[in-house]
């Protein structure tokens, strides 16, 4: 949560963060931290027939949190007009990136989450794609 909040404070509208990691590795928890860092307040949900595909947090600017875990086909994303969300006024965070790989923009911050040795421990690996996100990682204190 704390590290996510640090990242969230550095994000700007137009940024895309793509999360990878198995079930329970902490993708949703990290997203909540990021939302806190952006300064998100209210929340609404955009649902697909069987699950909540998109949570929208309206804060300093909008945060669009896509969870592709139960997506049946990429048409579900077309139906909600996903392109608009990626071109714009807010930041996008994607959970279960694997399921949307074909249509997601390539310039983004990839984050790989995995379990550590202890139950309460997680590992975070950052893979910036493009200059904007390399810059962001340097701001976070990485070596680039
Ligand atoms: N960095 C962390 N350190 C310790 N525990 C964590 C961390 N991140 C998440 N957890 C705990 O792990 C559990 C699963 O977290 P979370 O729901 O965020 O995972 P997820 O990757 O979104 O899972 P899913 O793939 O099911 O959506 C929760 O109980 C959460 O409190
Ligand atoms: Mg989750």
> Which ligand number lies closest to the CA of residue 65?
2
Distance 32 CA to ligand 1 centre (A): 11
Distance 68 CA to ligand 2 centre (A): 10
The full set of domains in the chain, from first to last, is 2-139 (3.40.50.300)
The pTM for the full model equals 0.94
Distance 13 CA to ligand 2 centre (A): 23
Q: What's the confidence (pLDDT) of residue 43? A: 81
Q: In which band, very low, low, confident or very high, does the pLDDT at 142 lie, cut at 50, 70 and 90? A: low
The number of the ligand 1 atom at minimal distance from the alpha carbon of 120 is 4
DSSP string, 56-95: EEEESSEEEEEE-TT---THHHHHTTHHHHHTSSSEEEEE
Tens of pLDDT along 42-75? 788 887 777 899 999 998 999 999 999 999 999 9
Q: What's the confidence (pLDDT) of residue 143? A: 52
Residue ranges with CB less than 5 Å from ion ligand 2: 27-28
């Amino acid at each position: 949560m704390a590290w996510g909040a640090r990242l969230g404070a550095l994000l700007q509208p137009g940024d895309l963060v793509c999360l990878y990691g198995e079930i329970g590795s902490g993708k949703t928890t990290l997203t909540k931290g990021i939302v806190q860092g952006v300064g998100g307040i209210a929340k609404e949900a955009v649902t697909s027939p069987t699950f909540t595909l998109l949570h929208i947090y309206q804060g300093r600017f909008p945060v669009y949190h896509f969870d592709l875990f139960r997506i049946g086909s990429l048409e579900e994303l077309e139906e909600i007009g996903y392109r608009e969300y990626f071109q714009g006024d807010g930041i996008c965070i994607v959970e279960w990136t694997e399921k949307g790989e074909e249509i997601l923009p390539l310039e983004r911050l990839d984050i790989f989450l995995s379990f550590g040795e202890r139950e309460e421990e997680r590992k975070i690996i950052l893979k910036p794609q493009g200059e904007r996100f390399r810059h962001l990682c340097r701001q976070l204190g990485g070596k680039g």
